[in-house]
Chain A
C-alpha cells in the first residue's frame, strides 16, 4: 500500500519526458559495488490490516491501572479542543515558517506561545521550543558557560536524574564540567538542595562556576530554597538556572520572582499526551540580556511593507544554517506543534483554570499523603511539596511490583534512579494531579495497606 498517485501511464510519460527507458537508468551513478544486497522487511499491510495490527499493539500496553506515577511526566485533563485544533492540516502538515508571507498562522502561534511562557516564568525571552525538558536543561547549562566564559556548572541532585544524565552527555562532548550539589540528608530540610555545600562548591576560586541549576519542585517533589540558591549563585558571579514544571508556575514563585537568569523545563503537562516519553516540549526562557545566547528559533513581531503587523523568525544569526560551526547550538527541527498544543491548552484553561489545576493537584496530593500514612507509608521528607512526594515503603521495589497485580501503579521506586541516597533506598515517589480521584486514592491506600500487612505477616512467620 503506497500513497503515491502515479499510474503506469504517468510513469511511462515521465520516463519518456526524461528520455530514459527505465527508472533503473536514473540510478546509474550508484557504483555496482555499492548497490544494496536487497531489502527484507515485513510484508506490506492494507490500511485495514494496518489498523488492526496497530490496535493490537496498542492494546498490549496496560494503561488501565490506577496510576500515581509522575516523575517528570504528568497525567492531566486535556480539553478536547486542543487536539481538534492541532489536527488542522494547515498546522500539522506545514513546514518551518521560513516563508513568513504564507506562514503567519504558525508564526503567530509561536509568538503567542513565547508570550504565554514569558508570563508563566516571568522572564523576557522564550525560545520557540526545544526537544524536551532534559535537553532544554542541558542547553541552559551550556548557555551559562557561553555567557560567563566559565567551564563548570553545579547541578542539584534534586534535578531529574534523566536531565542530569543528559547534561553530562552534552557536557562530555564540550569538555565542560558538571558537578552535583548534594541533598540535605536529615532534619527539616532533608531532601532539598544542600545550600551549605553549594556555598562551599562556589567558593573554589580555582574552578569558577558558570551556572547553578536547581529544580523547583525538585525531582522528589519538594519545594527548594530558590531565592537563597540564586543569591549564592549570583554572589559567585554564576548564573542561576531554574528547572521548572509549568503547571506549578500558576501558584508557585516564578523564576522571575526569585531572580533566576534562565528557566528550563518540560512542557508536557501543558496539554501534551504521555506517549511513552515524547514528543514533548522543551521550555527554555531567559532574561533579555541573554537573548544572544539562547539557542533555537525565536519569532518576533514586525511590520510588512504596508506597515501591517506580521510575525517572522528573527535573530537568526544565532542559528546553524547561518552560522554553521559558530552557531549557539545545532538545533534545527524543534517541537513547534507541541508548543502550539501548549498555547491552546493555556488559552483554554486561562489563568484561573491553570491555577485550579495546580491547586486541585495539591489538594489531592494531601489527601494521598494522609491516606498512605494511615496505610503505613509515611512521607520520607518533612518539607513542603506541591503534588508529588516520596513515601517510605519497606522493600519498595517488590511492593511496587505486587501492587501492579492489584491494579495500582504505585508511582516509582526511587532506589534505582537515586543511587547513593540511603534515605531513598526504600521509597516510592508518588504524585496526584487534578484527575486523581478520591476513589483512586482509596484503592491505592487499601492495596498498599494489604500488601504491607501481608509483608508484616510473612516477616512475623519467619
Chain B
C-alpha cells in the first residue's frame, strides 16, 4: 500500500516527541516493583506516544471534525434508526451515583441502579408484550445469541435434541444467520414472497421436527409489516418450534403491536436504535431480550429481583437458578447505556412512545411519497418507519448505480441511506428518516436527491467520481484488504507520507 499524498491529521505516533507529556498521577517510589521477579516484568517499555495535553485536545477535535454525525446532519440510514440523542441522557449516565458504582458492589449499595434496571425491565416487557426481560446483552447481535441459546436450552430441557435448524428469511439481517451458527444451529434461508413479505408456504415446507426456531424481523427489513404473521406464527408453533423476533425495527410499532401478545416467544430490543442511546461510531449499545413464559426459566444469570415486603432489589446469586443458560458477559450489563434508555422511556411515557412510532411512520411515508417520482419504489403499500427505494430504472437509463447516488449525496451534505440492503432488492436504498427530523430537513433531502438524479442524466461522471467535497475521496479498499496495515509502525524513506 502506497500513501503518496497528504495525510489529513497526523497520527498520535507521528505527533509524539520523547519527553512530552504532563504529570497526571504522582510519581511512585522507585522500589515499588522490586518484589516482582524479573521474568514477570516487561522488558522493553510499551512505545506509547508522548504528547502534551493541548496537542491531544487539538488532535481529537480535528479528527472529530472529519466525522458526519447525528449532531451535524441528517442520517436517513435505514435499519439503523439514527434519531436524535437527547443530551439529558448523557448527563444522567455521568451522575456520580451511577458512573462510580462498582459492578461487584453489594446490593445494598446499589439500590438506585438496581431499581432503575428492574423498572426498565418492566417497561420493556410491557412495550414488547413479553413476560420478562434480561438487560445483560451488550448489543443486538449479543441479544440474538442470548435468545437463541435460550431456545436451545428450552428444546433440550424437553429432551428434544433433534432440533438443529433455524429458519431465516433471505431479507434478514446478517446477524440472524451468524447467530444461528454461533449457537450451534444450521441456518436454512427461506426466499421472500414477491410482495417482499415472508412466504408462509415456503416456511411451512421447511418447518418440521428439526426446526428449533424461526427468526423474523418485523416490521421487515423492507420496512413492511408482516401481514401474514398470524399464519406464520401458527405454523411455527404447530411444528413445535419457537418464534424469535429481531426487534431492530421496533421504532415503528410501539403501542400498536406487541410481539409477545402476537405469539413471539423471544425478541431483542436495540436500545441504541429505538431508545435513543447514541451509536458512538459503532457502539456501545445494548440488546435487552424479552421472553415469553416458555423461556422464562432459561434467562441468563444474574437477574435483577425485587425483594418482597419493600426490602429493595438484589441481583441473583451465583448458580441460584440452575435452569439458566448462564452468563453471557461479565457483571450485570451495559448499565450506562441502560440509564440512557430508561431516561428516554421516562421522558415519553406511553403516549409519547406511541407518538414516536406514529411520527416515524408518518415521516417515512411522507418521504416515500415524495421520492416516488425520483427513484423506483418497489413496494407501494404503506411502509412502516423505513422504506426501500431502488436505482434499477436509473441504472438502466444512465448507468448510474446506487453506490454512485449514495456517494454524490455526500456532496450535498447528507449521510447516504443504507445501500445494497436488504439483499433481496436490486440496487436498494433503505431510507429511514426517524421521528426527530423536521419536514424542512426531509424536503431538502428530497430536493438534493432530485438534483442527483438529474445529474445522473446530464453529467454521470460527476456521480461516478463522487464524493468531491470530502476530506478523502473513494478509497482503495482492495489493497487495504490484500495488504492489511492494521497498526502503526514507524515508516521509513519512501513510505513516509508528505508532511502536512
The interface size bin for chain A is 35 or more
| Bound complex: CA A109 to CA B306 (Å) | 42
Shortest CB–CB separation between residue B22 and chain A, in angstroms?
8
Q: Which residues of B contact A71 (CB under 8 A)?
A: 104
Q: Is the CB of A333 within 8 A of B285?
A: yes
- Stretch binding the partner chain, chosen from B203-211, B324-332, B451-459: B324-332
Q: Are A89 and B36 in contact (CB under 8 A)?
A: no
Most chain B CB within 10 A, of A276, A323, A360, is at A276
Residue pair A404, B108 in contact (C-beta under 8 Å): yes
What are the residues of chain B within 8 A of A41 when measuring CB–CB? 123, 126-127, 345, 348-350, 353
CA distance A343 to B68 in the complex (A): 20
> Which residue from A13, A28, A63, A105 sits with its C-beta under 8 Å from B100?
A63
Inter-chain CB contacts under 8 Å: number: 737
Report the interface size class on chain B. 35 or more
Stretch at the interface among B288-296, B335-343, B394-402: B335-343
Contact of B327 among A73, A165, A321, A366 (CB under 8 A): A165
**CB <8 Å contact, A83 and B94:** yes
Contact A128 B282 (CB under 8 A): yes
Whether the pair A304, B435 counts as a contact (CB closer than 8 A) is no
Q: Which residues of A contact B310 (CB under 8 A)?
A: none
Separation in Å of the A34 CB from the closest CB of chain B?
Answer: 5
* Complex alpha-carbon distance, A51 and B24, angstroms: 32
Selected interface stretch from A166-174, A207-215, A234-242, A449-457: A166-174
- Is A340 in contact with chain B by the CB < 8 A criterion? yes
From known contacts A69-B102, A309-B5, infer whether A330 and B141 are also in contact, taking CB-CB under 8 Å. yes
Question: In angstroms, how far is the closest chain B Cβ from the Cβ of A284?
Answer: 13
B286 to chain A minimum Cβ distance, whole angstroms, is 8
Q: How far is the CB of A45 from chain B (nearest CB, A)?
A: 5
Q: Contact: A162 with B258, CB < 8 Å?
A: no
Out of B28, B70, B286, name the residue touching A89 (CB < 8 Å): B70
B194 close to A (CB within 8 Å): no
Contact B67–A102 (Cβ < 8 Å): yes
* A256→B123 CA distance, assembly (Å): 47
Q: Is the CB of A30 within 8 A of B257?
A: yes
Pick from B69, B281, B356: contact of A4, CB under 8 Å = B356
Are B141 and A108 in contact, with the CB atoms below 8 A? no
A173-B145, A252-B40 known; A2 vs B348 contact (CB < 8 Å): yes
A362 CB, nearest partner CB in chain B, Å? 5
Contact B330 A276 (CB under 8 A): no
Q: Quick one: which of B286, B331, B416, B465 contacts A162, CB cutoff 8 A?
A: B331
Q: For chain A, residues 40 to 77, give those with C-beta under 8 angstroms from any C-beta of chain B.
A: 40-45, 47, 50-51, 53-63, 65, 67, 69, 71-73, 75, 77
- B214 interface hit (Cβ, 8 Å): no
A59→B96 CA distance, assembly (Å) = 8
Residue B328 contacts which of A29, A104, A166 (CB distance < 8 angstroms)? A166
Known pairs A18-B368, A63-B96, A309-B497; list 9 more (Cβ under 8 Å): A3-B347, A4-B355, A41-B350, A227-B39, A251-B42, A273-B94, A303-B5, A323-B178, A337-B278
Type the 1/0 row for A21-34, where 1 means its CB is closer than 8 Å to any CB of B. 00101111111011
Contact B327 A336 (CB under 8 A): no
A390 interfacial by beta-carbon distance below 8 Å? no
Is A360 in contact with B104, judged by CB distance below 8 angstroms?
no
Cβ of B250 within 8 Å of any chain A Cβ, yes or no, is no
Q: Check if A305 sits within 8 Å of B473, measured CB to CB.
A: yes
A314 contacts chain B at the CB level, 8 A cutoff: yes
In the complex, A291→B101 CA distance in Å?
A: 36
Quick check: is A444 within 8 A (CB to CB) of the other chain? no
Q: What are 7 A-B pairs with beta-carbon distances under 8 A? A: A100-B472, A131-B329, A252-B40, A273-B336, A303-B475, A325-B177, A330-B141
B314 within 8 A of A: no
Q: Is the CB of A103 within 8 A of B68?
A: yes
Contacts of A459 in B (CB 8 A): none
Q: Is B202 an interface residue (CB 8 A)?
A: no
Q: Does B158 sit within 8 A of A, measured CB to CB?
A: no
Whether the Cβ atoms of A101 and B282 lie closer than 8 Å is no
Is B494 in contact with chain A by the CB < 8 A criterion?
no
In the assembled complex, B308 has its CB within 8 A of some CB on chain A: no
Return the CB mask of A146-163 against B: 1 if under 8 Å, else 0: 000000000000001111
Residues on the B chain within 8 Å of A442, using CB:
none
Taken together as a complex, chains A and B put the C-alpha atoms of A141 and B239 apart, in Å, by 35
> Known contacts being A5-B438, A33-B230, A309-B8, is A384 close to B36, with CB within 8 Å?
yes
Do most interface residues of chain B lie in helix, strand or loop, or is the interface mixed? loop
B279 at the interface (CB under 8 A from A): yes
Which among B327, B336, B353, B472 has the highest number of chain A CB atoms within 10 Å? B472
As a 0/1 sequence over residues 182 to 225 of chain A, the CB contacts with chain B under 8 angstroms (1 = contact) are 00000000000000000000000000000000000000000100
Among the listed B60, B129, B256, B280, which residue makes an inter-chain contact with A30, where contact means beta carbons less than 8 Å apart? Answer: B256
Q: Kindly list chain B residues whose C-beta atoms are within 8 Å of the C-beta of A269.
A: none
| Residues in chain A near residue B127, CB distance under 8 A | 39, 41
> Which residue on A lies nearest to B98, using beta carbons?
A58
Q: Given B8, B60, B116, B347, which contacts A308 in the complex, CB threshold below 8 Å?
A: B8
A51 to B33, CA, bound (A): 46
Among residues 288 to 332 in chain B, which have CB atoms less than 8 Å away from a CB atom of chain A? 300, 317-318, 325-332
Question: How far is the CB of B105 from the nearest CB of chain A, in Å?
Answer: 7
Q: Does A392 contact B (CB under 8 A)?
A: no
Q: Write out the residue numbers on chain A whose beta carbons fall within 8 Å of the beta carbon of B182.
A: 170, 173-174, 329-330
What residues of chain B lie closer than 8 Å to A93, measured between beta carbons? 69-71, 85, 278-279
Assess the A57–B281 pair: CB atoms within 8 A. no
User: Shortest beta-carbon distance, A421 to chain B, in Å?
Assistant: 14
* Docked-complex contact B46 and A27, CB < 8 angstroms: no
- Given known pairs A1-B348, A6-B439, the reply for A120 and B12 (CB within 8 Å) is no
**B88 sits at the interface (CB 8 A):** yes
- A200 to chain B minimum Cβ distance, whole angstroms, is 24
B480 near A39 (CB under 8 angstroms)? Answer: no
B283→A336 contact, CB < 8 A: yes
Inter-chain contacts of B2 with A (CB < 8 A): 303, 307
CB of A446 within 8 A of chain B? Answer: no
CB distance from B293 to the nearest CB of A (A): 17
A-chain residues with CB within 8 Å of residue B266 when the two chains form the complex: none
A81 within 8 A of B: yes
Q: Are B348 and A44 in contact (CB under 8 A)?
A: yes
Check: B415 CB closer than 8 A to any chain A CB: yes
Q: Let me know if A94 and B24 touch, CB within 8 A.
A: no
Q: For the complex, what is the distance from the CA of A95 to the CA of B68, rounded to whole Å? A: 8
- Chain B residue nearest to A310 (CB atoms) is B472
- Least distance between B498 CB and chain A CB atoms (Å): 9
For chain B, residues 376 to 391, give those with C-beta under 8 angstroms from any C-beta of chain A.
Answer: 381-383
Among the interface residues B29, B40, B111, B476, which one has the most CB atoms of the partner chain A within 10 A? B40
Across the interface, do B325 and A277 meet the contact criterion of CB distance under 8 Å?
no
For the complex, what is the distance from the CA of A354 to the CA of B129, rounded to whole Å?
Answer: 49
Q: Which chain A positions have C-beta within 8 A of B1?
A: 301-303
Q: Which chain A residues lie closer than 8 Å to B486 at the CB level?
A: 111, 114, 118, 124-126, 291, 298-301, 314
The 8 closest A-B CB pairs, nearest first, are A277-B331, A89-B71, A58-B97, A337-B280, A44-B349, A60-B112, A279-B284, A336-B282
- Which residues in window 442-471 of B have CB below 8 A to A? 465, 467, 470-471
